[in-house]
Amino acid sequence: MALKIKDGIYHIPLELPWSSPGFVNVYLIDDTDGFIMIDCGVNGDHYFELLSKKFREINIKFNEIKLLIGTHMHSDHIGLSEKIRDEGIPFALYENSIDFIDKYNDWTIRFKELKDYAITQGAPKSFVNSISEIQTPFYAGKVSRPDVLLKEGRIKNLNRDIETIFTPGHDITEISLHDTASKIIFSGDHILPKITPFIPTESKDSDMLAKYTESLDKVDKIKHDIIAPGHGNLISEPHNRIKQMKLHHKRRSEKILSILEEKSFTGWEMVNNVFPRKLDDMNLRLAFQETMAHLKYLENLGKVKQEEMHKISHWSKTRQV
């Protein structure tokens, strides 16, 4: 059921077609002449009807929505956006989103660089082939150029003071939204209550963990009382949660440095050292990307290095003089 957070702000948990996380949080913010909607769930008539039912429960109609804002370009947050745009509702994403529309709509493009990178890290053929076999899922829908391209700072043409905060890390287009009146930050997947969001690697030059830690610091500097995340319950001690998430990545980096203390490993060998349990194809891909994100982060800090041997990268700890 829909929940009222504060006067004029609704929280709508919307079902997803997988078990974890089982719901995405949709938010509605009253802007006096209509509602601002944050995120919308996955594509599909079933999910559109679920959302419509939630709207009916709180006596809100689609023609009262003046703007849909996507926090980032993942299917569980914007998959239903085209269907909602068909209702005459303008759609907003961060300004860099236009550079990633083709990747969103065609996952063979999205994962091509990752497949090539995995080969250089010694990944087995079975893993490389599993990436090649990824198809764009129906629940992602299709995305065309947004009606509104957001920049950092106060969003124009709204009555409320809602500020866009560019918070890349989990996704390169990720934003958080600060409603200054309620002192709530709507964080998408940038800050979650129970888990740390997945940090991807897409290519050899990608350092998304550095972007993510910088984004955490950016949000931490803002005075706010509550974080309304993309999944799970509201976070009532946001600054403590940010500290916990930074500590998680600090410990993961320390674990990697410990593994590399005595000998070097290929990137793929590091994945198996960091995540030793057996994983299915999807979680193995996530484990590979997250391990490489940490290695690249540590490399840019000068703490590890990689050397190519027989066309495969081997990672080792940098010896400090």
pLDDT at residue 42, as a whole number: 98
Residue among 113, 174, 115, 110 at smallest CA distance from 136? 110
Structure tokens at 4: 């009222």
> Could you tell me whether strands 265-266 and 65-69 are parallel, antiparallel, or unpaired per DSSP bridges?
unpaired
* pLDDT for res 6: 83
Q: For the residues 83-93, what does the mean pLDDT come to?
A: 97
- Contact, 80 vs 48, CB < 8 A? yes
**3-state DSSP assignment of residue 286:** helix
Q: Please report where in the chains the tokens 């106060």 appear, as a residue.
A: 154
Q: For a pLDDT cut of 90, what percent of the chain falls above it?
A: 94
Report the C-alpha gap between 264 and 260 in whole angstroms.
6
Helix (H/G/I), strand (E/B), else coil: 188: strand
Q: Calculate the average pLDDT of the chain.
A: 96
Residue 127 exposure: Cα atoms within 13 Å on the Cβ side: 23
User: What percent of the chain has a predicted confidence (pLDDT) above 70?
Assistant: 99
pLDDT tens digit string along 161-218? 999 999 999 999 999 999 999 999 999 999 999 999 999 998 888 899 999 999 999 9
Note the helical H segments in the chain: 45-57, 75-78, 81-85, 101-105, 107-110, 112-120, 125-132, 208-220, 238-259, 267-274, 281-300
Q: What string of DSSP letters covers 144-156?
A: ---SEEE-SEEPT
What integer pLDDT is reported at residue 158 of this predicted model?
97
Residues 153, 95: Cα–Cα separation, whole Å? 12
Range 240-246 average pLDDT: 97
Instruction: Quickly state the pLDDT bin for 305 (edges 50, 70, 90).
Output: very high
For the record, the structure tokens of 38 come out as 């944050």
Residue 183 is predicted with a pLDDT of 96
- The pTM of this model reads 0.96
Q: What is residue 127's predicted lDDT score, i.e. its pLDDT?
A: 97
Q: Quick: pLDDT tens for 110-126.
A: 999 999 999 999 999 99
Tokens 């969001």 -> residue: 197
Residue 4 scores a pLDDT above 70: yes
Q: Identify the structural domains of the chain with CATH numbers, from first to last.
A: 3-249 (3.60.15.10)
- Phi-psi bin for 268: left (phi > 0), alpha (psi -120 to 50), beta? alpha
For 129-173, what is each residue's pLDDT tens digit? 999 999 999 999 999 999 999 999 999 999 999 999 999 999 999
Rounded to an integer, the average pLDDT of 56-84 is: 97
Q: Which two tokens stand for residue 96?
A: 């860099």
Return the closest-CA partner of residue 15 out of 57, 66, 59, 49: 49
Using DSSP's 3-state secondary structure scheme, residue 279 falls into coil
Question: Could you give the 3-state DSSP secondary structure of residue 103?
Answer: helix
Is 321 a residue whose pLDDT tops 60?
no
Q: What is the pLDDT of residues 248-262, one digit of tens each?
A: 999 999 999 999 998
Residue 153: left if φ>0, alpha if ψ -120 to 50, beta else—which one?
Answer: left
pLDDT for 105 equals: 98
Return the C-alpha torsion angle 90, 91, 96, 102, nearest 10.
Answer: -110
The arithmetic mean of pLDDT across residues 68-88, rounded, is 98
How confident is the model at residue 202, as a pLDDT? 82
Confidence of residue 64 (pLDDT cuts 50, 70, 90): very high
Residue 288: per-residue pLDDT? 97
- What is the spatial distance between Cα 268 and Cα 136, in angstroms, rounded to a whole number? 25
Collapsing DSSP states into helix, strand and coil, what is residue 167? coil
The pLDDT value recorded for residue 228 is 98
Per-residue confidence at 2, pLDDT binned at 50, 70, 90?
confident
* The predicted structure's pLDDT at residue 206: 84
